[in-house]
Amino acid sequence: MIITFYGVRGSTAAPGPLTAKYGGNTSCIHIELETGHDLILDAGTGIRLLGRELAKKSTPTNILLSHGHWDHIQGYPFFEPIYQPDRDIHVYISIESGRKLLSKLFDQMDGTHFPVRASDLPSNSFSKFKGIESELYEREGIQVVKQQLNHPGGGVAFKINENGASCAYVTDNELDPPNTPVTNYDQWVNYLHGVDVLIHDAQYTEDDMPHKHGWGHSLISQVRQLATDAEVGTLVMFHHDPDRSDSELDEIQLENEIYLRSNRTPTRSVCAAEGMTISLHKPVLGGETRVSIN
Ligand SMILES: [Zn+2]
Ligand SMILES: [Zn+2]
């Protein structure tokens, strides 16, 4: 699979000269599967540019939604394939999130908040609540394993395995929430153990606390500890705070490298940036997954 980042920002879009390097669009990731088909993780503002690329294809598009907060659905009305006659778009929502989340996605296209109504779109939208795992396995040959997020309003993490190469998408998630977690730290370590690539919410620094404790996001220091404990291959720090500048992210990147080196862990870390691609390939004859970042 080839993972490309189209939106890496959390909470709200943050364009401007201070965020030009890492990008200001909100959550959206594209995964090109080995079949050449497309899997999209979340529909934040980053999905607009991705839509321009996918409009050149005619194959079905698959979208997995983590939850219904604005920064994860707001780009959907600007996703070009939804305006293509008879284009098949499969939107997958976990049964735990259910119809309420789907209505959030489409209700923003109600004629009041957006001029085009969802009911007037010429594409074919297939909304799936149940059987995400079995249907994606049958249609695309990938295994998807879910885990409940610690986040206000709930949400779901996805672990995707394609022919032995694995990637986990865990946003928005507070590893140490003030109340009893839906998924505790040890469960996260088990769920993520050994994944090749972990994309995790890393929105806050210690300076954001205690004010933002309970807002549903993790400290950068907690996330790199998790990646170490779960022995993941590559940690991708994701869902950057809208106020985090490029220079601050450069510093965080450096701090992470020093931390991981001093702990003698083989895990490597990178801050997600728009346009960044990560290629995962499991050799046919077995052995370690090859991971390359560009
Ligand atoms: Zn978010
Ligand atoms: Zn959220």
CA of 153 relative to ligand 2 center, distance in Å? 8
- Pairing, β 38-41 against β 28-32: antiparallel
CA of 173 relative to ligand 1 center, distance in Å? 9
Please give the pLDDT value at position 283. Answer: 86
CA of 58 relative to ligand 2 center, distance in Å? 31
pTM beyond cutoff 0.85: yes
Smallest-distance ligand from the CA of 155: 2
CA of 6 relative to ligand 1 center, distance in Å? 14
How far, CA to CA in Å, does 227 sit from each of 72, 94, 98, 108, 262? 24, 25, 30, 36, 14
Please tell me what DSSP assigns to residue 101.
Answer: H
Please give the pLDDT value at position 255. Answer: 94
Sign of CA dihedral 47, 50, 55, 59: negative
CA of 12 relative to ligand 1 center, distance in Å? 8
Q: What are phi and psi of 84, to 5 degrees?
A: -90, 125
CA of 283 relative to ligand 1 center, distance in Å? 34
Smallest-distance ligand from the CA of 203: 1
Please give the pLDDT value at position 121. Answer: 94
Please tell me what DSSP assigns to residue 36.
Answer: S
Smallest-distance ligand from the CA of 156: 2
CA of 260 relative to ligand 1 center, distance in Å? 26
Q: Which two tokens stand for residue 79?
A: 């996703």
- Distant-in-sequence, close-in-space partners of 31: CB < 8 Å, separation ≥ 6: 1, 2, 3, 4, 38, 39, 40, 41, 160, 167
CA of 166 relative to ligand 1 center, distance in Å? 22
Please give the pLDDT value at position 134. Answer: 84
CA of 218 relative to ligand 2 center, distance in Å? 12
Residues of the chain where predicted confidence (pLDDT) is lower than 70: 95-102, 130
Cβ proximity of 133 and 140 under 8 Å: no
CA of 203 relative to ligand 1 center, distance in Å? 9
Q: Which fold has domain 2-293?
A: Metallo-beta-lactamase; Chain A (3.60.15)
CA of 76 relative to ligand 1 center, distance in Å? 15
CA of 87 relative to ligand 2 center, distance in Å? 29
Please give the pLDDT value at position 135. Answer: 83
